[in-house]
Chains A and B, each alone.
Chain A
Amino acid sequence: MTQTTQPNTWSIAWQGLRRELASGLLTPMLIALLIAVASVTSVGFFVDRVESGIKAQAAQFLAADGRIESRDPIETPAAQAQELGLKTARLVEFPTVVLAGEQSMLSSLKAVDAAYPLRGELEISQGTQTREVVRHGPKPGTVWVAPRLMAALDLSLGDQLEVGRASLEVAAVLEREPDVGNVFSQAAPRVMMHHDDLAATELISPASRVTYALLVASRGDSADGALLDRFSGQLDEAYSLQSPEGSQPMFATAFERAAQFLGLASMVAVLLAGAALVIAAKHYNQVQQNAAALMRAMGASSKTIGRIYRLRLLLLALLAAIPGVLIGALVQLALADLMGQVLDIELPPPGIGPVFLGVGIAIIALFGFAMPALVKLRHTPPNRVLNKSQQAASPAAVGLFAAGFLAIAVLVYLQAQDLILTGYVLGGLGLALVVFVGVAWGLITLLRRVPVSGMARFGLARMAQDRMVSAIQVAALALGVTAILVLSIVQRDLIENWQTQVPADAPNHFAINIQQDERADFEEYLEQRSIEHAGFYPMIRGRWVAHHGKPVDFDQYQGQAHRLATREFNLSRSDKLIEGNRVIAGTFPDDGYSVDKGIAETLGWSLGDELTFRISGREYTAEITSIREVDWDSMRPNFFVTAPESILGATPSQFITSFYLPPDQAIETQVALQRAFATVTVFDVTRILDEVREVIARASQAVGYVFFFTLAAGLVVLFSAFTASERVRVNEAAILRVLGARRKTVLAALGFEFLVLGLLVGLMAAVAAGMLGWVLGAQVFDIPSGFNLALLFWGALVGLGLAALLTPTLGWKMTRISPNQALNG
């Protein structure tokens, strides 16, 4: 009697894998997976580097990886940072009047030590057009002065500037500094000096409004998040570490959007991988039924069959992942090289994360997309060896979709790292998938009934052969094309809309401290010079002191929220809604405070909350009666809190406005305004606007590059998905040729099929992309956008392009071998 032992499933799985790889059966799946892993990892590596690059650039806006501010000298945190191995730099900022001969002017003084800046660069000039990029501040005994102050005080290089009791030599014109800071903190033109000269000025007294800042940065080229977190954790409650992203609300928005666009771009590769694998796995399943039936007939249990195929998939995943990751790493090198030249961003070396992502994606994708289709191999009836029409009972379609959907959910989250974006993508994807499959199934059924003859009928019959498989293929392709359309047309629309929010003639100067009695004169002055302004708004400074009648517990807030809660608020008095503001809850105007949505969320305010502000020693209490969405990018005066005359009518106030000055007239007009209205402070935000535009442009370029790579990968993945049906097509083409069809007839049939399929895919994708773009624009990116009808044209064009690309390529494969070989192959 033969002794029975456990079958060696590892050996069977490995042998089968080798055989199927050699025979080419697994090639479509391997290629699909390889390209998917390669594209995902290369996008992963690349996005990782671009994001790090952009973040590194963000650090320039802070001149560091982190910043701490205080009204008092910062001693302990500096020691803590140095102990942790962080680089540090100190700076001190305060407003002061500087003198040059007989003339004087209020300036914003900044004293920096030798280590400044820790990130980014400064630009100085010798008064000419040529700018010099430097990574240090002025030497002791010298100052660098902003162009406006140079003009206002008629200064020349080499002149002496009196700063308090010190007399310092003007050594250069300060054209640009990395950490411009909060625009309102630099109301006056800059004078930068060395920290060592500060004592000699004798300007600092206990009553001075001085801001001390400590800059910290990691020793390497990029921020060490873990180290900064440790440092932040050691800080006394009085301090909060400001990150580059939080250094400027406008930049923060730009970074957030850039990251979202990049995340969206990288998702396409993930979705295309899934689409290709579903198709390839379905084909593999069909071919494997005979082998599974044979093993079943030889006595293998369904459990053994299941184990063999699971092991085979695992081996295949690893086999595809290793070269896939390597290819991904190589491709991103070329991409980064190209990108580095265009973007002018120094990209840090890639991290190890995308390697794990690549291997993880190979395993998750194969098991999520391919395993469900192979599950039914376990249940292949053994009598299929005798009767080929015997098929395994199909697992529930819901189960298949659920597994695939779960895989997509995990993959998308791994890529996006953003729950909201993942939620929207998955919601849209699920809906699109159900709708796509349903619509495709219906249309294929309908088309099959269209009374056409000859090759057209053959083409339609080919599609209708297995309606559900064709519908799933169309849906998968449509998803891929949807993603491509979203990234190309919709993304372009979104970026255009976004860029128009900061138009070229957006206000680039703010004027504050305009007294009530000089407001009319100031307005007239601007109008006489045809300078359009954004309106004059009262600016009231007040502190938030009570919530529902109880003193505010500031300790409940951390970080950014703590800073916002404790600092002075800029309130305004207005019965009219400021342009660019939108009421999203409550009523406006009403007898209460109207607050910005962002600050309400940060500080936990909601409609009906009673707030008390102390303004010039008097308290003003009212309920929140409306919440506004404020367009902070508009460069118009905006306020976190506004209230009507009935509440803040008695408060003392000055006015604020903003206006646009052409670059060539800026300095001259600023100086003229300063001389005409001595108490008014005019400051220039052109540099900030330029930086925002640059960030937007760089983000757009980055997305464009990621998109082009994904598009190329997508086409190859889609193509390999089509090759999964190559064997059947070659056989059918051979039958046609045996019956007397010429090559061009076979190509015509194929072309008609792909034309119908391409149009179906393209138009369905166009509609879905339009709707998805609208949802993304309105709900995620907060950019208004309508349905772009041109999408239908582009969708149809993509469909035709697919047909034009696939027909000759696949047609060549179908007709290059003799009919006899094909039928016996």
Chain B
Amino acid sequence: MSDHSQANKVNQPIIELDQVSQQVYTPQPLTIVHEVSLQILPGEAVALIGSSGAGKSTLLSLMAGLDAPTEGRVVLDNQCLTDLDEDGRAAVRANRVGFVFQSFQLIDGLNALENVALPLELSGARDAQACAKAALEEVGLADRLTHLPKQLSGGEQQRVALARAFVIRPAILFADEPTGSLDHATGQHIIELLFSLREQYNTTLVLVTHDPQLAKLCDRSIHVQAGCVTEQGTRS
């Protein structure tokens, strides 16, 4: 690949939203996200900040293809998600996208190793167990491989979730309040781990947070209010 095309690719957004809106019916129509347009470049770390109910998590789910917008266009890693059905969006997520949630979202019946191996097994990888083991070692849980989620502390569960997110070496990581369920010290440790892994694998990060200090760790912040982007910030 030439330097020119490499430069082009770097400047080409990995996530692009064009006039994206999301309405729900409760039963009256309620607009949660209103005509949002934004771009995120590869390798960027972007914080979505705003008050509770502002529409941050909904915006994140639209970017990640967890939901389809009622209007507008979402492009993720050069794939227009709007043109894909749920299975098509799942295929995009399978190889390129990692997730970390506030409530960990581990499968209770699977142990730590199996939880981490799951995305690899879904994409048909042969060495799923070995890769998962390495990922858990990387987050400091080499001695917790066979523990079930309920046998782990909150911090440990979030580390398993981090290992699960990074085990596929994702191009993009979506993190929704990853420290929301943790105490300050544990949360700090998780953030350090998350940013260290992101840097190590040059992963684009989209982080939903209330915490201005946490937002400052990102390259830029996008302010969301009443479903609209009010300020996109500048790349530091």
Contact = CB atoms under 8 A, between A and B. Distances in A.
Contacts of A731: 105
A482 B87 CA distance: 40
B109 interface: yes
Interface stretch (B11-19, B70-78, B92-100, B195-203): B92-100
Given A389-B150, A454-B121, A737 B107 contact: no
Nearest to B118: A739
Given A740-B90, A742-B90, A820 B66 contact: yes
B160 interface: no
A740 B122 contact: yes
A458 interface: yes
Given A735-B107, A818-B86, A453 B128 contact: yes
B123 interface: yes
Interface string A744-774: 1100000000000000000000000000000
A742 B84 CA distance: 13
B105 A823 contact: yes
B47 interface: no
Contacts of A745: 122
Nearest to A463: B109
Q: Is the interface of A mostly helix, strand, loop or mixed?
A: helix
B107 A740 contact: no
A741 B94 CA distance: 7
Interface string B49-73: 0000000011001000011100000
Interface in B86-116: 86-87, 90-91, 93-95, 97, 99, 101, 105-110, 114
B128 A739 contact: no
B122 A739 contact: yes
Contacts of B67: 818-821
A463 B128 CA distance: 22
A743 interface: yes
Contact of A461 (B87, B90, B95, B114): B114
Contacts of A464: 109
Nearest to B101: A823
B61 to A, nearest CB: 4
B119 interface: yes
B91 A740 contact: yes
A739 B94 contact: yes
The contact size tier of chain A is: 20 to 34
Interface string B111-139: 00010001101110000100000000000
B119 A458 contact: no
A548 B86 CA distance: 90
Nearest to B109: A465
A818 B109 contact: no
A75 B34 CA distance: 99
A818 B61 CA distance: 10
Contacts of A457: 110, 114, 121
A743 B85 CA distance: 11
B86 A743 contact: yes
A736 interface: yes
A790 interface: no
A643 to B, nearest CB: 73
Contacts of A732: 107-108
Nearest to A741: B122
Nearest to A735: B105
A462 interface: yes
A740 B93 contact: yes
A741 B114 contact: no
A745 B90 CA distance: 11
Interface in A773-825: 815, 818-821, 823-824
Interface residues of B, number: 31
A738 interface: yes
A740 B119 contact: yes
Contact of A737 (B90, B110, B114): B90
B234 to A, nearest CB: 29
Contacts of B108: 465, 728, 732
Contact of B107 (A461, A743, A815, A818): A461
Contacts of A458: 107, 109-110, 118
A731 B105 CA distance: 9
B95 A740 contact: yes
Given A389-B150, A453-B128, A821-B67, A738 B105 contact: yes
Given A458-B110, A820-B61, A737 B86 contact: yes
A267 B106 CA distance: 42
A506 B109 CA distance: 63
A450 to B, nearest CB: 14
Nearest to B94: A740
Contacts of A728: 108
A742 B107 CA distance: 17
Contacts of A743: 86-87
B109 A741 contact: no
A819 B68 CA distance: 11
B93 A738 contact: yes
Interface centre among A465, A735, A736, A815 (most CB of B within 10 A): A735
Nearest to B128: A453
B54 to A, nearest CB: 15
B90 A741 contact: yes
A535 to B, nearest CB: 69
Nearest to B152: A389
A824 B32 CA distance: 15
A728 B109 CA distance: 11
B162 to A, nearest CB: 14
A23 to B, nearest CB: 15
A463 B90 CA distance: 25
Contacts of A744: 87
Nearest to B121: A454
Nearest to B148: A465
A423 B3 CA distance: 86
A738 B66 contact: yes
Contacts of B110: 457-458, 461
Interface string A712-743: 00000000000000001001100111111111
Nearest to B181: A388
Nearest to A745: B122
Interface string A125-140: 0000000000000000
A482 B99 CA distance: 45
A818 B66 contact: yes
A330 B106 CA distance: 47
B23 to A, nearest CB: 14
Given A820-B66, A820-B67, A740 B123 contact: yes
A820 to B, nearest CB: 4
A739 B101 contact: no
Contacts of B106: 735
Nearest to B24: A821
Contacts of B91: 740, 742
Contact of A738 (B95, B99, B109): B99
B68 to A, nearest CB: 7
B122 A461 contact: no
Nearest to B68: A818
Contacts of A739: 93-94, 99, 118-119, 122, 164
Contacts of B97: 740
A774 B4 CA distance: 83
Given A741-B90, A819-B67, A824-B57, 16 more contacts: A454-B122, A458-B109, A458-B110, A736-B118, A738-B66, A738-B105, A739-B94, A739-B122, A739-B164, A741-B122, A742-B90, A743-B87, A818-B66, A818-B68, A823-B66, A823-B101
Interface of B: 57-58, 61, 66-68, 86-87, 90-91, 93-95, 97, 99, 101, 105-110, 114, 118-119, 121-123, 128, 150, 164
23 contacts: A389-B150, A453-B128, A454-B122, A461-B110, A462-B109, A464-B109, A731-B105, A732-B108, A736-B122, A738-B66, A738-B93, A739-B93, A739-B122, A740-B90, A740-B123, A741-B122, A743-B87, A818-B66, A818-B68, A818-B86, A820-B66, A820-B67, A823-B101
Q: Which 10 residue pairs spanning A and B have beta carbons closest together?
A: A740-B94, A465-B109, A820-B66, A820-B61, A461-B109, A739-B119, A742-B87, A740-B93, A820-B67, A454-B121
